[in-house]
Structures are given as structure tokens and as C-alpha cells.
Structure 1
Amino acid sequence: MSEPHATSEPHEMTDEELHELAAKQVAMGEVRGAPASDPVNVPMIRHWLTAMGDANPAYLERGLAPPAMAQVWTMPGLRSTAKDRSPVDDLMAALNANGYTGVVATNCEQTYHRYARVGERLVPATRFTDLVGPKRTALGVGFFATWTITWYSEEEPVAEMLFRVLKFRPVTGRENEERAAYPLRPAVNQDTAFFWDGVRDGELRIQTCADCGELRHPPGPMCPQCRSANRTHTVARGIGTLYSYVVHHHPPVPGRDTPFVVGVVELPEGVRMVGNVVDCPIEEVGAGMPLRVTYRQMDDRLVLPMWAPREP
């Protein structure tokens, strides 16, 4: 296990330098922290079970901790000033120094290898894994940072947690004034939520059959190829070709100024997608023109994917 390296005070960095710093943090590998202040103990387990409304007697009877308590054992106290350095700290400081001061957790995935036992003193180890961005999101432009914490009892892993946050630049001044809600909001359901989640993260996602791999758009509950209801998604490259289009003049559309172009875009992944063609004079729009996806903030909550010209 490697040890964290001391760094200088954070300063303003380019996006490339932020990614270079992230690569260095990844290269540090897994960095061990200090052992938990207290061993796994019955009073804390009892308090947890009461707070969670968990009446399962097996934990206390067998001297085992609920798996979801893994992080509890190594969290600093309310007034604690001591903190282990980890591969995450320098990168978070650099993002803050570059104006990405907002933070929101986006993913938390836990894996349990075994129960922690009463009397064990767990040790956390942190591994930084990924930095993605900058991406335009509904909260603002930001970076997605991902790391994994593994809790060990001596050398045996007990549990691990993947944690991802969005570090974003909060909007200020007039940008912070609430916009009127865009009137043409898309319908979001269990079949389409993944797509709109991707748009908010700056990704163009295509639904994919988890069994046969068939791609489909618009999303649906069942694969038209093999009839499987198992589904996942892939992230498209974000480029395409204008397959066909119409120029809308009338009637008026709430939230839009006429005329505007609605196109069917053919993606190299093999599906077609409907969207507005923007950043191009209407008289220059034509079938076959190469396009790239762009994301437009329509109000404080809604981001829509649109299509702009690109170099062939």
C-alpha cells in the first residue's frame, strides 16, 4: 500500500492539469488510513438497529454488525480535527481552487464481503479511480470524481463502497435567478429515466438489450428483437447525420420562437433520434449534414439535447 504525498497549496489549473493530477492520484493506488477509534461494539450496533427500525435479533445474538454500518466505524467524531490524508483530498482541493466549490453525491454502491464482528477494529483504505469532465449539468459545469473505500480487518476485506460526487461551479448573479419553467417538459417514466439522467450528466444514452445487445430508441420496456425485458444502456459518441427534417412555422409553440428546425438524426451506433437543429441558419440546413449533440439549459431543472453542425 502506498502512502499519500504532500503537495503544495492548490492553485488555478487548466482542465488538462486537473486530469493530470487525477491520473497521479489514481497511480497512488490504495492508501490506508488510521484504524477506527473504537472496535465494532454492541452499544453502537444497538443504536443503529433502533434508528433503522431493524428488529432482526441475529446481529446482537451472534455479535455481528449490520453490513451497511461499515462506514460508521471509521467516521470522525463531530468535533474531531484529525483526518487521514487520502488520494481524494488533493484533487478536491484543486477543484475547489478552480471554482468547482459545489458538491453533490451522485452514486453510492456498497459491496459486502462478510459481516464485521464485535471486537474487530476496521481500517479504511481509499483508492481514487476516475475523474470525468468538465460536463454541463443542470447544476452547472462540473467534474464527476469517483473513488472506492475498502474496510479491512487486518488484511481481510470486510466491505467496500464506491462513491461518486459532482463538483460543480455554482451559478452566481443573474444566472442564479430562477427561470420560468419551460412549458414543454418531456414525460419521464421507468423506461426513459436513464436517458434524461444521462442528459443531465452530459451523456447521450441509448437503451440496449442486456441479453442480445440490440440497441433501440426511443426506449421501451421490451427488446423488439428477442423480447427480453432485461435492459441496460450504452453511451453514444454524440455525433450523427441529419436524416430528414422539417421547418416549423405555424402554429406557435409555447417556449419556442418560430421558425425552428426539427430533425431526425441518424447516429453511427445505428439508431435515429429526433431533436432540434440549432446554431445554423435555416437556409443552410440540409439532409446529410454532419451534426454533434449539444446540451441546452431550458430552465432551472430541464436540460435538452439538441444538434449543431460539426465539421465532417
Structure 2
Amino acid sequence: MSEVSHKELKAFEGRAASKTGVGKDPVNEPMIRHWCEAMGDANPAYTGPDPIAPPTMLQAWTMGGLTGHQDHSAAYEELSALLDGAGYTSIVATDCEQEYLRALRPGETVTFDAVIESVSERKTTKLGTGHFITTRMDVRADGEPAGTHRFRVLKYAPAQKYAAAEKQAAARTQAPDQRKSEGKRPRPVINRDNAGFWEGVKQHQLLIQRCGDCRTPRFPWLPGCNACGSLVWDTVEASGEGTVYSYVVMHHPPFPAFDPPYAVGLIDLAEGVRMVSNVVGVPSDKVRIGQPVRLEFQQVDEELELPVFRAAEGTAGGEV
């Protein structure tokens, strides 16, 4: 294994990852319908007589599927192979950013160019040490600029997994107060659109937005109604009753502020919206779809309190 210099990595910046790529299918209503059903998005703009595609589908029209795109550039594979040779053999997606320039409509052909925009200096993270790679994709619809998609991954050398496992096992034997002192939960991102929600949490209230015109409830908080587009809204306090719509059990990676395995649920609230939060009160392997849960507020460290959902011992749901 040989170390790679940042100068070698920087040489890849600006190189094409894909040139004049063409979407495998034109924008079409069946794909729009499937997307909306999966996301639970009933916005009439996507189903009316002159529908548009949901903006967040931007990348979906460019994906190559299992067979990929024939015009894919070798630059990204070369960069990946260089990092593999230096020991950065693991990869994880970290985030993406999208900018929308115009709506996409059924029948339009999607084309795109992608470029390796940046390669970071060596960074040390909880997962291990490596480099962040950012790829920018410029998307066009029938030749007109439609949007930009930035996708960022971390190519890294995993931290010593045995040492991590040993530390995790030791952490489970510590008192809760001692575990809390070793690491804090990530802070929520609070902005002008969701500040009211977090103010409610401080008061032990779970506040749901409600459109001031069509009265449709919505969660998470948004600046406008996703049903009618109105910018007028008020709030309703949730009763706290809900059921588990879906869930995952997190086992890895271990972070000091978390104690895996733990269950993260998509909760159907009685008010007609869904919320992602931890399911507590039962072992993670006992959480089930359809299980009734009740809102409570959990102090996770000396500064942060979060809404979670407690399942009563012995309660059962439907599907596994």
C-alpha cells in the first residue's frame, strides 16, 4: 500500500466523469407515478392534465441502472483505483445537493454532463481516514439547462474494526451518564423554516404544520403547502398517538453518542402525517410494522431533548 499525494488527486478535478450522457428513458408519467407513490406525494402538479416531474427526481432520469451508460468516462474509475491502491478501499455516500432551473415534462429527453468537481485533502472521520470526492452533474431537458446535481462520497480506510468493537462493548458496560460524557448526538439543523418545530420540542409539544387555505397537515415543516402551494399556515399539536409504518434497525457504525442496535421508525401519526424517530421501550428486534406507539421526549444529553416513540412491552404489529 502506497500513500497518494493530494497533488495527484487534485489533477482529477475538472476531468469529465460522463460526457453527453443520455437518459435511458424520456421523462414519463409511469415513473413519475411510481416516484410519487413511493414518496407519498399527492401534489396535483404531478398528476394533472399537463403534469411535471417532481423536482427531486432530477437524478433519477440520469441513472444508468445495472448496465450503466456507454459514454461513461474512465476518469472516475481511475481516481477510485488510485485511492484503492492507497488503502482507501471503502466508500460511503455522504450528501447531495440539487439546484432546479426549470420543470421537466413527460416526453422530454434528458441529457447530462458530469465532472469531478473536487477531491478533498485527507480527512479523519468516525468511519476512518480518507478523501471526499464531489461530482457535479449538469442536467438538460430537450437541450435546455434543467438543473444541477452534486453528489459527494467518502473513499476511506476503515478504522480498526476490532478496536471499535472493543470500545463499543466497553461502552455498553458504562453508566448512561458516563456514556453521555464521551460524545454528544449531532445537533439538529435549525433554520427559519423549522425553528418553530424545535421551539415546540423545548415545550414538550410536537407541532405539525397545517395549511391555512386547504387545511392539509404536513410534516416535516415546509415553507409552502405541498397540496395547494399556499404560503399561509398554522400549527396543530399532535396527540402523540401513532403506529409504526416501517422501520430499520441500526447496527453500524458505532458512535460514542449512540448505542446500537437501535430501531428507527417511520411513524404514522394520528393527524395523518409521518415522522422519522427512534422507537424505544422494547428491544430493537421486537419492533414490528403496525405496532402502536406513544410520543415522549427523551433527554439525550445535557443540552438536547428529542421526540421519540415508546412501544409498550407485549404490543405487536402486523408484518415483520
With normalisation by structure 2, the TM-score equals: 0.51
Contact 2:129 2:159 in 1 (8 A): no
Q: Give how far 1:24 is off.
A: 2.6
Residues 1:111 and 2:108 aligned together: no
Distance 1:48 1:300, change over 3 A: closer
1:104-142 Cα distance to aligned partner (Å, 9 max, x none): 122211111111111111112112121113222111111
Distance 1:50 1:173, change over 3 A: closer
Contact 1:129 1:148 in 2 (8 A): yes
Contact 2:32 2:53 in 1 (8 A): yes
Letter in 2 for 1:137: T
The 2-side partners of 1:73 and 1:86 are apart by 21
Partner SS, residue 21 of structure 2: coil
Residues 1:14 and 2:11 aligned together: no
Contact 1:21 1:91 in 2 (8 A): no
Contact 2:13 2:119 in 1 (8 A): no
Residue matched to 1:185: 182
Distance 1:121 1:13, change over 3 A: farther
Residues 1:301 and 2:298 aligned together: no
Residue matched to 2:299: none
Contact 1:87 1:127 in 2 (8 A): no
The 2-side partners of 1:37 and 1:112 are apart by 21
Q: CA RMSD in A?
A: 3.0
Q: Give how far 1:81 is off.
A: 5.3
Q: Give how far 1:161 is off.
A: 1.3
The 2-side partners of 1:156 and 1:172 are apart by 48
1:59-92 Cα distance to aligned partner (Å, 9 max, x none): 23223111111111121234x2555126433212
The 2-side partners of 1:81 and 1:45 are apart by 21
The 2-side partners of 1:94 and 1:145 are apart by 13
Matches within 5 A, 1:3-152: 13-16=2-5, 19-28=6-15, 31-61=18-48, 62-78=50-66, 80=67, 82=69, 84-85=72-73, 87-152=75-140
The 1-side partners of 2:142 and 2:19 are apart by 11
Q: Give how far 1:152 is off.
A: 1.2
Gaps of 5+ in 1: 1-11, 195-220, 222-298, 304-312
Distance 1:100 1:53, change over 3 A: same
Q: Give how far 1:188 is off.
A: 4.5
Q: Report sequence identity in percent.
A: 35
Larger Rg, first or second structure (1 or 2):
1
1:277-304 Cα distance to aligned partner (Å, 9 max, x none): xxxxxxxxxxxxxxxxxxxxxx95249x
The 2-side partners of 1:24 and 1:127 are apart by 13
Letter in 2 for 1:57: P
The 2-side partners of 1:30 and 1:155 are apart by 19
Contact 1:146 1:164 in 2 (8 A): yes
Contact 1:130 1:147 in 2 (8 A): yes
Aligned residues: 185
Matches within 5 A, 1:273-312: 300-302=254-256
Q: Give how far 1:168 is off.
A: 1.0
Q: Give how far 1:49 is off.
A: 1.1
Distance 1:154 1:161, change over 3 A: same
Letter in 2 for 1:39: P
1:147-206 Cα distance to aligned partner (Å, 9 max, x none): 211111244221211111111112356435331227422445748x89xxxxxxxxxxxx
Q: Give how far 1:39 is off.
A: 0.5
Distance 1:167 1:68, change over 3 A: same
4+ runs deviating over 6 angstroms? none
Partner SS, residue 9 of structure 2: helix
Letter in 1 for 2:24: S
